[in-house]
Amino acid sequence: MASYGRFLQARVGALKRLFDLVSASLALLLLFPVLLLVAWLVHRRLGSPVLFRQVRPGLHGKPFEMVKFRTMRDAVDTEGNALPDAERLTPFGRFLRSTSLDELPELWNVIKGDMSLVGPRPLLMEYLSLYSAEHALGCTSVTAVKPEFRSNANLASLVRLWPIATETSGYLSI
């Protein structure tokens, strides 16, 4: 009976991957003019590079490079340190984030198989160490499935499901 469960799980996984591949490809094709316009506007208002790249943990914690449109300026203080996000985020960047247009390049991550259209959002790499081995390997864990492209479930709501011990305060607070 266990082998039938694995067989069924493999079939569902293959169907989900097919759905992701077809849907993301179709979305990229249909949204290509929007992607070009947003890329041009980002270049014009924020300069180069147009894309923001960040390493995030994927399935089983395997790192992948997530791609988004850039929404912040590269502003630094007198010592060369990046200014706080609130000071670097532009009104245009705020608009891109509020409309989720900054996340359109993530469709490429879905096509590559790094992400899925359905699943938890990708965490930052530094949050991975805050999960216990039990949570990291659990079937409902954020590392047991591919991260998703977009969802209403954000990191704060996922983290509230589990008490996560940290070295400083005892729990991760977001």
Q: Note the pLDDT of residue 155.
A: 46
pTM confidence score: 0.69
Whether the CA torsion 153, 154, 157, 163 is positive or negative: it is positive
Asked if 143 and 60 count as a contact pair (C-beta separation under 8 A), the reply is: yes
pLDDT reported for residue 68: 94
For 52, phi and psi rounded to 5 degrees? -100, 130
Instruction: Return the pLDDT at 132.
Output: 64
Provide the pLDDT for residue 137. 47
Distance CA 72, CA 10 (A): 41
The CA R_g of the chain, rounded to the nearest whole Å, is: 18
Question: Which pLDDT belongs to residue 10?
Answer: 74
What local confidence, expressed as pLDDT, does residue 148 receive?
Answer: 60
- The pLDDT tens digits for 110-142 are 999 888 888 777 878 887 777 766 555 443 444
When pLDDT is averaged across residues 15-28 and rounded to a whole number, the result is 93
pLDDT in tens, 37-85: 999 999 999 989 999 999 988 877 788 999 999 999 888 888 888 888 8
> What b/e string do you get for 149-163 counting C-beta neighbours within 10 Å, with b at 16 or more?
beeeeebeebbeebe
> If you average pLDDT over residues 139-163, what whole number do you get?
48
